[in-house]
Structure 1
Amino acid sequence: MTRISILLLFLGISFPILAQDSVVYKPNQIRDFKLIPLPAIASNPANGWLFGIAPSATWRMGNPESTHLSNLVGNLLYTTKKQWLISSRSNIFLADDSWILVGDWRFFITSQPTFGLGSSTPNLPEENPNQLGVWQGEQQMDYNWVRFYETVLKRISTSKFYLGVGYHLDVYSKIENFIDEEMAQELTFSNDFYNQTKGFDLDKNTLSGITLNAVMENRDMAVSPYETNFALISYKINPQFLGSNQSSSTLLLDYRHYFPLSEHRKRHLVAVWSYANFLVSGNLPYMALPSIGYDMFGRSGRGYSQGRFRGESMVYSEAEYRFPLQKSKETFGGTVFVNAASFGSKLTQENLFTKLNPGYGLGLRVMINKENRTTISADYGFGQKGNSGFYLNINESF
């Protein structure tokens, strides 16, 4: 389950959109636009070799003194297994932070192993002793995935609090399960068993819903924070009349806090992150259940592959120590981290916190643009039972 990604080339290029000699800031006028194209070659067991680009862009929509830096991270990757991974994720602050627009758009033609529900699933495939006739452990899935998430948040007066609504659509189609040909095939795949039990189609599932969101945005810079905190409460309603296969609702909680350890070197800090996702009512299709590595930027669960754990409820926590590696310059930095996750499932009768899945690791940071803190992050994480992975990303993990 080792995940390996290798970035062969990165180049920082800045494209100024507006002249810097003007002191007049027009509302929502794009300023200080910087694009960093990242030609990439990567490899992992699920996708084989990947080739493409991973651009990152930052800009401001107003006065720098009152407007956070907006950012967008994209991916356009093609793999040797004839897969396409195309995504765009954005966090846009309008003038004076009056509104925040959050986007997460994806189109994947891909594959990924799944292991069943709960925190106790093994690495290797075997019959589930609690569900005879059903596989648990690694089972490969091929599928197409379309995601369109867009959230609009309005600032409450001059506070750090925002309220807003969003539309969230996930469509999983052409789902196919398979396992090692040398193994017996008479057992039912975890994905099929869950969807059959809950009344979902085996080939295509749709989740379409509205979110009600409350946000506290108090970070100094969203892409690579040095101080203060962030909080999100998101209640999602997925009614059938909007296109969902079944009506359901979920609750997402996200809190992050950053503790500077030096007034002079704020890059020297401790960061903590708590993340929870719960099915509140109804049923979700298997692929839409809370899962490790499925936060917006896919940063949770370093030490395990994406999708390694899944369930109707999820709690995750992480702490990371970040520090500069140079006496006065900010180019190179390091990090050490620990994390833990727990998953519950009514179908397998496993409760939250019955079992914890810890992870730990260390990483290197290379800041390629000091002004907007654009950073290349490379981490190696270790999990239990031989799980591990190398992760290469843009900006900090959280």
Structure 2
Amino acid sequence: MKYFYLSVILIILSCSSLNAQEKKGTIEDLKEFFTFYPNRKAVEKDSSLYLQKFIAAPVISYSPETSFAFGTGAKYLFKFNGSGEETRTSNMPITLQYTLNNQFFLYSGFEVFTNQEKWVIEGNLLFQNYPRLYYGMGNNSPESNEEQYNYYQFLFEPIFLKQTSLRYLFLGAGVRYNVIYDVEIESGKLIDQTRPSGYDGSTSAGVEAALLYDSRSNILNAQDGWYLEFTHGKYFEAVGGTHKFNLTRFDLRHYIDVSPNNLDILAIQTIGRFTRGDIPFSEFSFFGSSEIMRGYREGRYVDRDLLAGQIEYRKNFKDSRIGLVAFVGAGDVYNNISDFQFDSLKFNYGAGLRFMLDKSENLNLRFDYGRGQNGASSFYLSIAEAF
């Protein structure tokens, strides 16, 4: 999807006309205005406790599909009592928005570390009534096919992972429950003509095996380390689903500190998504998003398999909250990954501005502009990095 996020946090950027001392005070005051500390009193009594933070701010967004949307964006950053420096900060972001077209979405993609990181609990929670654009199946669908369909979706996907004998390696399993209902399509358009399986609603219910390797020092804005998440899910009608299929996903990232003096980072990511069996329409792989292949609308290309990668250079300036990024990427969708061809890859590139909201958590406000092929382009504004 094409998003252009606006937030009252942007007031921060207007501080550039102030002198350094005034700027520092204004930024800290504004950050404090949007930050709540649930356990402040406990920390005052016991300094060994982690000072939990709940950062929330009003958000306005716009997209051609929704018109203006209004709501709240928040992040809850915490550690369980008894966790020390060896335990990374848990992150629970929450976004709630409502649009002028009477649509809404509530989303949280969470990652929670227990004491000493013996367990990691991660996953997604989503409830939305949201439009999506569709251009047809395959990686050559024409722009002229564009149509819009609307649906309600409820997704719940918790995954529980246990630390192994290796410090950063976790193994586990979880469940995934994805319901699509109250679908509205345009009469006479491509979806109505082809009526793919599950086009009018579906339920995906299944179990997932999962592997996680995560040596990042910071999960909000990593400066070094590796990240690999691999899941393989099997979905059945016997547990309440409407389709029987398999879904395999991986997300591989590497972060390199290329300039210790300024903390410049080279970030690399490769993702894959592969489906087999009686796949419902909603579980096909959708190309483009605010996180990877920025510049393309989400779902601009659709097929069974997806493979994509990106490289991002993050330029930081010493003793400054301002940063810059530049990124390039490539990827495509396929009916079968064996159809992969370099000459059919789709490319994107772009640049962005960063403003550090919280130095202690390395938490940035992100503004990106991405471009793809055939004139595709999008703006993105949100909290935390794309990956």
Q: How high is the TM-score relative to the length of structure 1?
A: 0.86
CA contact (8 A) 2:270 2:308 kept: yes
Find the partner of 2:331 among 338, 341, 364.
Answer: 341
- 2:241 maps to amino acid: S
More displaced stretch, 100-109 vs 285-294: 285-294
Q: Deviations over 1:140-197 (max 9, x none)?
A: 0111111111010100035210001011111111112227xxxxx4xx52476252xx
1:107 corresponds to: 127
Please state whether the residue corresponding to 1:19 is helix, strand or coil. helix
- Note if contact 2:322-2:353 (Cα within 8 Å) is conserved in structure 1: yes
Deviation string, structure 1 residues 304-331 (Cα, Å, up to 9, x no partner): 111212110110100000011x3x3241
Structure 2 counterpart of 1:283, from 270, 278, 284: 278
CA distance in 2, matches of 1:310, 1:20: 53
Q: Which runs of 5+ in 1 are unaligned?
A: 26-30, 126-137, 180-184
Deviation at 1:203, TM superposition (A): 2.0
Counterpart position of 1:162: 170
Deviation at 1:202, TM superposition (A): 3.6
* Alignment check: 8 A CA contact 1:66 1:96 kept: yes
Q: 2:297 aligns with which of 295, 305, 308?
A: 305
Kindly report the root-mean-square deviation, in angstroms, between the aligned alpha carbons of the 2 structures: 2.1
The counterpart of 1:394, out of the listed 363, 373, 383, is 383
The residue type equivalent to 1:357 in the other structure is: K
Q: Which of 215, 234, 238 pairs up with 2:235?
A: 238
Aligned residue number for residue 71 of structure 1:
91
CA 1:330 to 1:70, structure 2 compared with 1: closer, same or farther past 3 Å? farther
Instruction: Give the match for residue 46 of structure 2.
Output: 22
Q: What's the counterpart of residue 130 of structure 1?
A: none
Equivalenced residue count is 361
| Contact 2:273–2:285 (Cα < 8 Å) also in 1 | yes
Q: Secondary structure at the match of 1:396?
A: coil
Secondary structure of the 1:54 match is strand
Q: CA deviation at 1:201?
A: 4.1
CA distance, structure 1, for counterparts of residue 183 and residue 153 of structure 2: 9
Q: Which structure 2 residues correspond to residues 1-398 of structure 1 after superposition, within 5 A?
A: 3-9=3-9, 11-12=30-31, 13-15=35-37, 17=39, 18-19=42-43, 22=46, 31-61=50-80, 62-125=82-145, 138-178=146-186, 185=188, 188-190=189-191, 193=194, 195=196, 200-266=197-263, 268-279=264-275, 281-293=276-288, 299-324=291-316, 326=317, 328-345=318-335, 351-353=339-341, 355-398=344-387
Cα distance in 2 for partners of 1:262, 1:376 equals 22
Report the alpha carbon displacement of residue 21 of structure 1 after superposing the two structures with TM: 5.9
Determine if contact 1:67/1:93 at 8 Å carries over to the other structure: yes
The equivalent residue for 2:24 is: none
Task: Write the distance in 1 (CA, Å) between the matches of 2:193 and 2:206.
Answer: 23
Q: State the shift of 1:77 in Å.
A: 0.4
Q: What displacement does 1:8 show?
A: 3.4
Which stretch of structure 1 is more off in the superposition, 76-85 or 112-121?
Answer: 112-121
CA positional deviation for 1:204: 1.5
Partner secondary structure for residue 385 of structure 1: helix
Kindly indicate whether the alpha-carbon contact (under 8 Å) linking 2:198 and 2:281 is maintained by their aligned counterparts in 1. no
More helix by share: 2
Seen in structure 2, the aligned counterparts of structure 1 residues 234 and 350 have a Cα distance that, compared at 3 Å, is closer
**In structure 2, distance between residues paired with 1:16 and 1:287:** 38
Q: Is the 8 A contact 2:288 2:295 kept in 1?
A: no
